[in-house]
Amino acid sequence: MERLTKLKFNRHGNKKLIAIDGPPGTGKTTEILKRAMAWDEAGAVVTFTNAAAQVLKDRSQGEITAGTIYSLSWPCVKKSTGSKQTHGNKASGSWTKRKVKSTWDTALSDYTDAAPSKKGRTDLDQIASEIHSWDGTGDPPHDLKELNPVRELKYVLPLARWVSLGCPGEHEDKFPAILVDEAQDMSALEMAATLGLSDGKVTAFLDPGQSIFASAKGIGDALPPAWVSAAERFRLNGGHRIGTPALTTASMVLSSYFNRPPQTFTKTGVTTIVEPWEPAEGPPPRGLVLGYSRAIVRKYFELWDLEDTGLVPGQGNTDNELILSTIHSAKGSEAKDVYLLPWGTKALDKLELSEPNELRLLYVALTRGSSYIRLPWSIWTMLDYF
């Protein structure tokens, strides 16, 4: 099978933008590295986080320029808007650095206290979301001069001001080509800035089904801007993580939001959705256990009276020990055995109504396991709806 399959040409799309659908396990990062290392001129890779950029730099032994759109565009933004340098908030939670020792460990309460849902939505959150949804054409949704780059607007406002000016910049501050990793999580504004930062083509790698950070970016239930606005669309074939029948189920769950043939990224081996399991009966001996929220993860950590257990993927080997995580934190991770914790009534109702956010979350959960996936009864019975 060819590595890339060309899909329907979008004649209304931006001719500068190419989108490549990369389903789970198809080696998007490897493909990006291969392309970036083959450049004759110094292009750049736009990543979703600074940590992801560092991984690319390490794997290329420093030969690749990589960073978020905010860090890579900063020289242009600073010169044209007069913005001052800002510093990001570093994750300070102890659970990100070590395993939680017991139910009495303060790291467990810190974990849930720091959940995004605890913060509540402010007026600045709403303004930031509306600015993110602006694609750089027409007037921005707010008077950018009247706003201050604080809190939720600290990064997005300077970027929006630069885009509103037409993305000016010196030749040495821009790039002849740009590759984008995890483009499904980039807003319309971020994609407009990425296009403005390149003097040539922008190739965005994404999996629309994994767009689970879309709510704060003004994307909502729509397909990612990188996919919608691309003139050319391709699909990356292959895959080595998940096989049928679980893969077929995952594709079926996602199909009303993004319809993709499962055979394009199935592995040769089998990934089985095992008969329902009952979490209340006790913890599994090993594997990756996924919860809908941090509150659910904490609930079962305490119910099972766990000790020395990680709440972030990577804090241990799931082949011989147990790791708990939210579905959001597990994006990009995999394990032989994956267990899904029960969802609450509201989430199940949304899933039954095929709301995109819940479909994407379930799809991500179903595509984390390479051998076995175990679902609770409530979600097992829901599969008949798809």
Range 220-245 average pLDDT: 91
Residue 193 has pLDDT above 90, yes or no: yes
DSSP 312-351: STTSS-TTTSEEEEEHHHHTT--EEEEEEPPPPHHHHHHH
Interatomic CA distance for residues 198 and 162, integer angstroms: 14
* pLDDT for the residue 39: 87
Range 209-234 average pLDDT: 91
* pLDDT for the residue 348: 95
Is residue 291 a contact partner of residue 50, using CB atoms and an 8 Å limit? no
Interatomic CA distance for residues 319 and 31, integer angstroms: 27
The answer to which of 174-183, 212-221, 294-303 has the lowest mean pLDDT is: 212-221
pLDDT tens, position by position, 48-98: 999 899 999 999 988 899 999 999 999 999 999 988 866 555 555 789 999
Is residue 361 a contact partner of residue 210, using CB atoms and an 8 Å limit? no
Cα dihedral: 363, 204, 194, 220 (round 10): -20
Highest mean pLDDT among 58-62, 104-108, 330-334: 104-108
Peptide bond just before 245 cis, omega within 30 deg: yes
pLDDT band at 263 (very low <50, low <70, confident <90, very high): confident
93 or 382, higher pLDDT: 382
The answer to which of 22-31, 159-168, 177-186, 345-354 has the lowest mean pLDDT is: 22-31
Quick one: the chain helix, strand, coil %, rounded to 5?
Answer: 40, 15, 45
* Full set of structural domains in the chain with CATH: 4-79+161-236 (3.40.50.300), 112-119+242-385 (3.40.50)
Interatomic CA distance for residues 147 and 126, integer angstroms: 13
Q: Pick the closest to residue 237 from 14, 19, 13, 28 (CA basis).
A: 28
Q: Pick the closest to residue 204 from 188, 220, 222, 221 (CA basis).
A: 188
Interatomic CA distance for residues 318 and 314, integer angstroms: 8
CA distances from 224 to 65, 100, 211 (A): 24, 36, 7
pTM: predicted TM-score of the whole model, two decimal places = 0.94
Interatomic CA distance for residues 64 and 60, integer angstroms: 6
Strand, coil or helix: 35: helix
**In sequence order, what are the residues at sequence separation of 6 or more whose Cβ sits closer than 8 angstroms to the Cβ of residue 363?**
209, 210, 250, 253, 254
pLDDT tens, position by position, 110-151: 999 999 888 878 899 999 999 999 999 999 999 999 999 999
**In sequence order, what are the residues at sequence separation of 6 or more whose Cβ sits closer than 8 angstroms to the Cβ of residue 220?**
214, 356
pLDDT tens, position by position, 277-301: 999 999 999 999 999 999 999 999 9
Residue 350 has pLDDT above 50, yes or no: yes
The whole-chain average pLDDT of the chain stands at 92
70 or 332, higher pLDDT: 70
Range 100-113 average pLDDT: 95
Instruction: Give the β-pairing of 4-6 and 230-236.
Output: antiparallel
Where helices occur in 69-179 by DSSP H, the ranges are 69-72, 74-81, 106-113, 116-119, 123-132, 156-164
Interatomic CA distance for residues 315 and 96, integer angstroms: 9
362 or 25, higher pLDDT: 362
Tokens at 66, concatenated = 């990589």
